[in-house]
Amino acid sequence: MSESYDLIAIGGGSGGVAAARRAAAHGARVAIIEQANLGGTCVHRGCIPKKLLMYASQFRASFDLAAAYGWSAGQPEFSMAHWQDAKTRELERLETVYENMLRQADVTVIRGTATIMGAGEVRVGDRTMACKNLLIATGGRPSTAPIPGLDTALTSDDILQLRTVPERLAVVGGGYIGMEFASMFARLGSKVSVFFRANAPLSGFDEELRERLRQAMEHAGIAVFPQTLPRSLARDGSGYRMVLQDGQEMRFDAVLNATGRVPNTAGLGLDAIGLELTAAGAIPVDSYSKTRIPGVHAIGDVTNRVNLTPVAIAEGRAFADTVFGGQDTPFFHDQVATAVFTDPPIGTIGLGETQANARGPTTVYETQFKPMQTAFAGRDNRSYMKLVTDSETAKVIGIHMIGPDAPEIIQSLAVAMRAGATKREFDRTIAVHPTAAEEFMLMREPVRTYAAAT
């Protein structure tokens, strides 16, 4: 073998790139292999283009609100094709940024499909490379639920490539991907219907957030079908024919399969190293991202731990610091803040009320109010905030919000929670007025207490 590296990372997404750069900074000889675009799902098929579409969709409400503030303008029109072209240029720019960062870090970038030949051997085409350490960071891919015909629907990858806004859009799945696209396309003018298995969207989130999002979506004109999944789906001319479990037929111009994502492990050659997967198809690892095979690690969505871009980045850096930096750096997945860019958006960190109550004595504080910007325009939408605390220590163990600016507010409050803040610190903090965030400092009286775990 003519090529040998201290580390080969398979997957040029955010986690793989972060790990490769950090390992190289510690003096390792590093190569990274990517078969598609540097930046991975987040940059090209997830976080970034999704947020750009969210920005585009928000302007409709801004135009409507402007009139209440004294502005007058003509009827606005949205061009999905214009957005698509601008988005493509921006993602191409970002991929160049990623490639330049890797080259400046002296990381060798290899384009192609990697096949693992052994724990220390990887092949790309007719090129074979040896490595002391192998990092698998291949992410995830859209899954297909066992619903006949659902494989003909758009995936989250596909919907970001549309050049026109569908008149009638069905979203199958109640997770954050489905709810975000439902909100965005509703604001862009689609007549949206959402179908999901549970009684409310966003399983695993605080129950109050879930119910309030369901109500907000219905208020926005989205048809919500809880505890309902299609019996079958079929192409029907230029659109789709959906049959529900009760036999009802519905027709749509586009259908989004948002039933989830699965670890992207197919075709890697994991059998060559005897690496067995979990029941969910993920690569099992410990808190150091080590597999049971010496010298083989895995990070990010392919491990199916907490599937968020910043988590994959943190896992990658912790791996590199441990293996190449001489720093014992395990990574634990507690207190990870997250956001859902729906309408209204959600920000959350820590335990929901039900989860906290199951653990021990809990005290809950909450508030709701009409946001100033929209209240001035006569709108009746509301923001909602919740603090969940440990009754014995008063430590804040959960922070939840649905309403404008929730993601930005939760990001800042995550620092306080990570630092172990108690309710007393929130009470002693002087509020910035007038802001929405100040309401987290002004909750004084508990609304619910739980004496013991139930």
Residue 372 assigned to a binding site: no
- The rounded distance, in Å, linking the Cα atoms of 395 and 219 is 35
Residue 378 assigned to a binding site: no
Is residue 309 within 8 Å of 317, Cβ to Cβ? no
A 10 A CB-CB count for 102 gives: 23
Residue 147 assigned to a binding site: no
Residue 13 assigned to a binding site: no
Residue 40 assigned to a binding site: no
What 3-state DSSP class applies to 452?
Answer: coil
Residue 175 assigned to a binding site: yes
Q: Element (H or E) spanning 248, and its range?
A: none
- Structure tokens belonging to residue 225: 């079908």
Residue 176 assigned to a binding site: yes
Q: How far is CA 263 from CA 139, 141, 267, 371, 452, in A?
A: 6, 6, 12, 40, 38
Residue 360 assigned to a binding site: no
- The rounded distance, in Å, linking the Cα atoms of 203 and 36 is 32
| Given 82, 297, 400, 433, the catalytic residue | 433
Residue 236 assigned to a binding site: no
The rounded radius of gyration (Å) of the Cα atoms in the chain is 24
- The rounded distance, in Å, linking the Cα atoms of 23 and 324 is 6
- What is the CA 225 to chain-centroid distance, rounded? 23
**Closest to 391 measured CA to CA, from 419, 361, 431:** 361
Asked about 433 being catalytic, the answer comes back as yes
Residue 301 assigned to a binding site: yes
Binding residue numbers for NAD(+): 173-180, 260
Binding residue numbers for FAD: 51, 301
Which sequence positions are flagged as catalytic? 433
Binding residue numbers: 51, 173-180, 260, 301
